Structure 1
Amino acid sequence: MAARTVRRATAAILTGAVALTAAACSDPGNGAAGSGGPGDSAVVGIAYEPETLSPLLGYGKDGNSKIFDGLLAFGADMKLEPALAAALPTVSADGLTYTYKLRPGVTFSDGKPFTAADVVFTYRTILDPKTNNPSRTELDALKDVKAVGDDTVVFTLKYPYAPFAERTVLAIAPQHVAGAQDVNTGPFTTKPVGTGPYVLTGWSKGEKLSFQANPNYWGGAPAVKKFTMAVIKDDDVRATRLRAGDLDGAILPPNLAAGFTHDKTKKTWAAKTYDYRTVTLPTHHEVSGDTAIRRALDLAVDRQAMVDKILEGAGKPAYGPVPTDSPWFAKGTERRHDLAGAKKILDEAGWKPGPDGVRVKNGVRAAFPLWYLSGDKLRQDHALAYASDAKKAGIDITTQAGTWEVIEPRMKTDAVLAGGGSPGDPDFDQYLLLKSSLGGDGFNNMAWYDNKTVDRALEDGRRTDDPAKRHAAYDTVQRELVKNPGYTFLTHIDHLYVVADRWDGLSTQTEPHDHGLASGPWWNVEDWKPKGSGATAK
């Protein structure tokens, strides 16, 4: 959960984007028509925009950046495929050396050649402590990276890190551009140059990102020539603009997506995800940091009711960062809805009901605030349901809406209705979510969770490539979260997208929490073909 995954996220996704006004929405594509327009243009509505477009600062670390490519990429089935690399890496017997041969003839959008030096520059810059990349710890295993000529890159690890190849989907920056300016503040952060299928033509903060197809893309020139992402924070506004024809597609919560069920000009796409909603229980608050309060809330919350009523069945209960259908899920860590059990835990811990029904211990009322992101209906509904369930157990939770700028300074002591989740390896999400040393590090470990057993297990899981040992480590993490839950995990959410039925080649992947910009049916927009064109998707 780097930056803003349970946070605001580096690449997404998760920030205080401003709602698009009617004036800005009236022509969101800057000439690209909405629903029913030319087949070579598309405009989609997303909820959040990135804070930067520089891979050196976190953008494109999980692939699908549109402007850039990684050495590898995830296909529709989430299996790794060659991208800027000509083939999957060769791995040494001890798991410490990864060698990549590069794809020949690739150029950046400015016409300059892509070489091994760009790969070395990208990774070394990210690892430089002077670079403001909140996801640096994701590359902790990397000891060195070097170029062997122009067409070969060799990575050397400190220890066998099983998912290292999955880390090499991160976007590659051009040394000749980004290396000639301040990495943290230079113009490259908003005016990037990459090897990807699209070139950024404009970015109006809080309104839209505009792209044009890269005619020299190594994978073939995209059929969708103009692509616009309209930044529309409010769910209802996105649905309204989609219905009005200003948008060709949008991500919507289940209740709003249902409104397009009978629209024969549009199709709804569902994506399975690792995306969860959780409540942070700050260790530094005298109530939420109390283990009995945490355990009681874990039982008092009715997760299935949230799935049924808030998600309308488009999701499942969450008991931790790992979905229950993942092979990494620790069976037996499911928590039943047990209000009587929650009350018993509080009674035994000395939290007794006061005159107003709110429990008190040593003069302290069982009360704390819970913040959620303004305009995010799903978070609001989860927060209200959680507070209602808590009240039945005698815990008074006051819900409040705010932007990330308002919420972030309060996270050490105030609870937050947060989101997170990353497909693939459990290290990707759990380390940043739970490692005690990352408490206070931006949107990593937002609850300041501090559990030494979990810390050791996270290191054990990260520092071995033995499958049995790794499963044992992450099993330990999940079972410790039952004993002392620093977060109340609520639901895992399926993402729903409504898109005009005008193209072939659409599909969805298993998605992370950070979505919209790099996820959804437009994860492969470069492969879309207008219906009836006679062309086939790549």
Structure 2
Amino acid sequence: MARFRSAVPAAALAAAAVLISSGCTTSSEPSAGGGGPFRYAVTSDANTFDPALGTAATDYSFARMQFGTLVYRDADQSVVPGLAEKWTAAPDSATFTLRAGLTCSDGKPLTAGDVAASLRRWADPKTGAAGTGLAFGPGAKVTVSSDDAARTVTLKLARPWSDLVPAMSMTNAGIVCPPGLKDPKALGQGPVAGAGTGPYTLTDAQRGRQYTFKLRDGYNAFPAYTKAKVPAGERPSTVRLSIVSNESTAANQLSTGELDYAAFTGPDAARFAGGGYHVHVQPLLRMFVVFNERKGHPGADPGFRKAVAQALDPAAFNKVYGGKGEVMKSWSDSTGQCANTDASIVTKTDPAAAKKALDGVSIKLSGTNGVAGGSGNTYVQEALRAAGAKVALRNVDNATWASDVLANKGDWDVTVMAHLNFQGTLTAGAILLTGPNPPEGRNFGGIRNGGFDAGFGKAMATTDEAGKCAAWGAAQKALLQRDDVVPLSTVPVAFVLGKNADAVVTAGAVDPTSFRVQG
């Protein structure tokens, strides 16, 4: 599976506090492990073991197993209890009440003060943590307080950001106990005794090869899923993770029983259709086109943007990746909360109209080759060439693309954006489409769309779901009608578990704390 580094990290008006209920506590059953080891594969090693600094898929998996979060996301993207049993929220604050009896991985009590210290460290700009822009808003100031007797932790923002509660489910928000906070360098390099708050502890680490995790006895703060289908079976008492960089090799090991779980983006997934395997297909990447709208680039012309949209066929783009993805109607797919479903506001494919506007126009196209070698970028190049444009494609690795496009250090006109969105929110993409240009902000395309900015601001100023979706609807309409974004399709991933194994899949990824051994 391709690795993608996080590229995400405005503003709004105050609103009255709203109670967000979360009474379900079905995850409170103690951990009861049986059997093992449960064996699964990832394509690359971890960059860090510090949850706050994680930026790659393996980092997220390790963090989820070792460090609990205050809340989790269910199959429908709703928020469910984790370390916190309930919470209240306003657009600029949230108070979480912790479950009783929480402990760190060394058995010592986990207090509200400990949780506050962990969140305070994550929010501190000096930490250089990932995901803080999504959690608190770009550049936002955060105050964290606690009350040990009441088991409460309160976060207060300098300005409204209504995604505060959902963002506490991010693996970057994983709570680290005092031993880890005292030695952050050691935390990043490997296991620190007593630092964990999650259900598993890392007991053996062989960098580049294999890792072994042990289930904590009596752990009772698992996600309280109500929508996700929790499989039957026992939690494995031991989980062993191996580095297998080649998908075909992982498929061979899964088919012979050497692995219990692996993920596939390529054709090897087809080997497991039927035959008793548990296959869960979810969107991994959301692909869309964004323009450089700065002066001197063709993207500054609305007519050019519309013509590019007319030249592209999202259904044909989807077929480049096997045709198993979803043709999108916004910068997120239909699994995301408040995502647009109105096809009428999306520019329709019209090659004849595109040719009238693009014939002879020179375009500098950029994209990452980290997704199927950049085959989607090649499709966009050929579609624009078919409309008469002269297209120079820069098909480069993730790091180079991020420098060229996201940091705007390269010379580009059009880019194919490969966007990871594990949170299922529109915010993850939206903060890349508004605000200051790099390096002061994240608006890599230099987009100036007042209607979008207003809708985005209103969405972040309320915790009322109906009002939030209405605001997001207006924001998406403003962006799509101006063709600032051209939606394409998702690229799915197949999560394959063995005949005697299964797991919960939420927010586009497997929850590694939900593995089950069956039979």
TM-score by length of 2: 0.76
Q: Distance in 1 between matches of 2:199 and 2:291?
A: 42
Name the counterpart of 1:261. 273
Name the counterpart of 1:341. 353
Matches within 5 A, 1:287-326: 287=298, 290-308=301-319, 310-312=321-323, 314-324=324-334
Cα deviation for residue 276 of structure 1 reads 0.7
Partners of 2:311 and 2:349 within 8 A in 1: yes
The alignment-based identity, stated in percent, is: 21
Q: Distance in 2 between matches of 1:207 and 1:488?
A: 41
Is the alpha carbon distance of 1:307 and 1:418 closer, same or farther for their aligned partners in structure 2, counting shifts above 3 Å?
closer
**1:123 counterpart letter in structure 2:** L
2:514 is the alignment partner of 1:531: no
Provide the secondary structure at the position in 1 that maps to 2:345. Answer: coil
Q: Distance in 1 between matches of 2:62 and 2:37?
A: 23
**Unmatched tracts of structure 1, length 5 or more:** 12-37, 347-352, 354-358, 361-365, 512-518, 533-538
CA shift digits 1:263-310 (9 cap, x unpaired): x25332223x47412244334573455544332221211111233452
Cα deviation for residue 89 of structure 1 reads 1.1
Q: Distance in 2 between matches of 1:367 and 1:95?
A: 42
Name the counterpart of 2:228. none
Aligned to 1:212, which of 210, 214, 217?
Answer: 214
**Unmatched tracts of structure 2, length 5 or more:** 9-33, 223-232
Q: Distance in 2 between matches of 1:237 and 1:289?
A: 47
Cα deviation for residue 491 of structure 1 reads 0.3
2:434 is the alignment partner of 1:474: no
2:420 is the alignment partner of 1:420: yes
Q: Distance in 2 between matches of 1:367 and 1:293?
A: 10
CA shift digits 1:407-427 (9 cap, x unpaired): 332222343542233545433
2:127 is the alignment partner of 1:135: no
Q: Distance in 2 between matches of 1:7 and 1:432?
A: 17
Cα deviation for residue 527 of structure 1 reads 5.0
CA shift digits 1:312-358 (9 cap, x unpaired): 3x222123223247644162323322111222343xxxxxx4xxxxx
CA shift digits 1:407-461 (9 cap, x unpaired): 332222343542233545433x23322123264479x545454434433432232
Partners of 2:480 and 2:486 within 8 A in 1: no
Aligned to 1:501, which of 484, 499, 502?
Answer: 499
Name the counterpart of 1:198. 200
Is the alpha carbon distance of 1:63 and 1:481 closer, same or farther for their aligned partners in structure 2, counting shifts above 3 Å?
farther
2:398 is the alignment partner of 1:371: no
Cα deviation for residue 68 of structure 1 reads 0.9
Name the counterpart of 2:432. 433
**1:384 counterpart letter in structure 2:** T
Provide the secondary structure at the position in 2 that maps to 1:65. Answer: helix
Q: Distance in 1 between matches of 2:131 and 2:394?
A: 29
Name the counterpart of 2:178. 176
Q: Distance in 1 between matches of 2:160 and 2:45?
A: 35
Q: Distance in 2 between matches of 1:448 and 1:52?
A: 32
Is the alpha carbon distance of 1:113 and 1:403 closer, same or farther for their aligned partners in structure 2, counting shifts above 3 Å?
farther
Is the alpha carbon distance of 1:169 and 1:420 closer, same or farther for their aligned partners in structure 2, counting shifts above 3 Å?
closer
Name the counterpart of 1:276. 286
Q: Distance in 2 between matches of 1:287 and 1:397?
A: 12
Provide the secondary structure at the position in 1 that maps to 2:67. Answer: coil
**1:173 counterpart letter in structure 2:** I
Q: Distance in 2 between matches of 1:367 and 1:207?
A: 44
Q: Distance in 1 between matches of 2:65 and 2:216?
A: 10
Partners of 1:43 and 1:249 within 8 A in 2: yes
**1:508 counterpart letter in structure 2:** V
**2:72 counterpart letter in structure 1:** A
Q: Distance in 1 between matches of 2:272 and 2:220?
A: 37
Q: Distance in 1 between matches of 2:307 and 2:433?
A: 20
Q: Distance in 2 between matches of 1:101 and 1:420?
A: 31
**1:459 counterpart letter in structure 2:** G
Cα deviation for residue 404 of structure 1 reads 2.6
Q: Distance in 2 between matches of 1:426 and 1:508?
A: 20
Matches within 5 A, 1:396-475: 396-411=390-405, 412=408, 413-414=411-412, 415-427=415-427, 429-437=428-436, 439-440=438-439, 444-467=442-465, 469-475=467-473
Q: Distance in 2 between matches of 1:83 and 1:466?
A: 22
**1:260 counterpart letter in structure 2:** F
Aligned to 2:384, which of 378, 390, 409?
Answer: 390
Aligned length: 462
Q: Distance in 2 between matches of 1:249 and 1:422?
A: 19
Name the counterpart of 1:70. 69
Name the counterpart of 1:15. none
Is the alpha carbon distance of 1:407 and 1:416 closer, same or farther for their aligned partners in structure 2, counting shifts above 3 Å?
same
Matches within 5 A, 1:10-159: 40-47=36-43, 50-57=46-53, 65-85=64-84, 87-91=85-89, 98-137=94-133, 138-140=135-137, 143-150=142-149, 151-158=151-158
CA shift digits 1:158-186 (9 cap, x unpaired): 456444322232444335224324x5xx1
Q: Distance in 2 between matches of 1:209 and 1:441?
A: 39
Is the alpha carbon distance of 1:45 and 1:222 closer, same or farther for their aligned partners in structure 2, counting shifts above 3 Å?
same
Provide the secondary structure at the position in 1 that maps to 2:66. Answer: coil
Q: Distance in 1 between matches of 2:62 and 2:440?
A: 23
Partners of 1:57 and 1:133 within 8 A in 2: yes
Q: Distance in 2 between matches of 1:441 and 1:208?
A: 40
Q: Distance in 2 between matches of 1:80 and 1:149?
A: 24
Provide the secondary structure at the position in 1 that maps to 2:127. Answer: coil
Partners of 1:447 and 1:487 within 8 A in 2: no
Matches within 5 A, 1:357-368: 359-360=360-361, 366-368=362-364
Cα deviation for residue 114 of structure 1 reads 0.9
CA shift digits 1:215-253 (9 cap, x unpaired): 353359973233234444554454455446543222213
**1:322 counterpart letter in structure 2:** S
Partners of 1:303 and 1:491 within 8 A in 2: yes
Q: Distance in 2 between matches of 1:101 and 1:242?
A: 42
Is the alpha carbon distance of 1:446 and 1:53 closer, same or farther for their aligned partners in structure 2, counting shifts above 3 Å?
farther
TM-score by length of 1: 0.74
Cα deviation for residue 205 of structure 1 reads 5.5
**1:147 counterpart letter in structure 2:** S
Provide the secondary structure at the position in 1 that maps to 2:280. Answer: strand
Matches within 5 A, 1:485-524: 485-503=483-501, 506-511=503-508, 519-520=509-510, 523-524=511-512
Provide the secondary structure at the position in 2 that maps to 1:316. Answer: coil
Cα deviation for residue 61 of structure 1 reads 8.6
Cα deviation for residue 465 of structure 1 reads 3.4
CA shift digits 1:76-103 (9 cap, x unpaired): 4543332212x22145xx6655332222
CA shift digits 1:343-395 (9 cap, x unpaired): 2343xxxxxx4xxxxx14xxxxx132433234x32x62322222221211123
Q: CA RMSD in A?
A: 3.6
Cα deviation for residue 199 of structure 1 reads 1.5
Partners of 2:289 and 2:417 within 8 A in 1: yes
Partners of 1:270 and 1:495 within 8 A in 2: yes
